[in-house]
Amino acid sequence: MLTFPQILRMFGGLNLTKYGSSSISDSTSFSQKGGFSGGIAFAFPVSKGLSIETDLLYSEKGSGVLLLYPANQQFSGIYRYSAIDIPLMIKINFFPKSTPYLLLGPEIDFIFSHKLKLTDTQEVFDLKETTNHIGFGFNSGIGYEFPIHSFALFFEFRYTIGLSNLLVGNTDMEKIRNNSLQFLVGGRLNLK
């Protein structure tokens, strides 16, 4: 039975993101972009070694892009977007003390900024009107926690696969999803 959250987690770290698309032409290639991710989480123990965790994260995401045109012209730029992510995950602890753990669960993203900055001209384009404001993804992750009395230090690695199209409309021509790797460090505090 779920009760009042018994664990508060605070964390931050590196977010490596890259757009992926199966419908963009060969003239477009995407590369990883680094950003910050951080926030808080509340855990609700369900049974020994099993809890449900919900996070509230600020995340900087996006992708590098290289566009190739005829006559050997090319343009490079960086897509950047900011979002509030709310994952709901199952956390499985393998041992009662210092422990490795596994995380799995869906995520909803509230996107509030999306821009493209061209590298050569430094020109910035606001893409908010062509971007879906809500996105969905699925998280999987592993971590290791070091308990110190009622506090614990943890290190975590997460992979999020984007499930929804970032672009407005369901066009068959362009479907772009965002995938990310997160390397997080934080602390856990027992509230009970």
User: Across residues 1-10, what is the average pLDDT?
Assistant: 73
Alpha-carbon distance of 108 to 41, in angstroms, equals 15
Instruction: Write down the pLDDT at residue 106.
Output: 98
Q: Where are the domains of the chain?
A: 7-190
Query: Max alpha carbon distance in the chain (Å)?
Result: 66
What angle (nearest 5°) sits at the alpha carbon of residue 14, between those of residues 154 and 56?
A: 70
Instruction: Write down the pLDDT at residue 26.
Output: 63
Alpha-carbon distance of 180 to 162, in angstroms, equals 8
User: Across residues 11-33, what is the average pLDDT?
Assistant: 84
Alpha-carbon distance of 1 to 50, in angstroms, equals 12
- pTM value? 0.87
State in words which class domain 7-190 has: mainly beta
Q: Which of 160, 159, 158, 58 is nearest to 110 (CA)?
A: 58
Alpha-carbon distance of 160 to 190, in angstroms, equals 27
Helix (H) or strand (E) segment spanning residue 138: strand 134-148
Q: What is the secondary structure of 10-35 as a DSSP string? A: EEEEEEEEEEE-SSS-TTEEEE-EEE
Is residue 172 scored above 80 in pLDDT?
no
C-beta neighbour count of 169 within 10 angstroms: 9
Is residue 137 scored above 90 in pLDDT?
yes
Q: What is the CA radius of gyration of the chain?
A: 19
Q: What is the pLDDT of residues 35-57, one digit of tens each?
A: 999 999 998 888 888 999 999 99
pLDDT bucket at 183, cuts 50 / 70 / 90: very high
Alpha-carbon distance of 44 to 51, in angstroms, equals 5
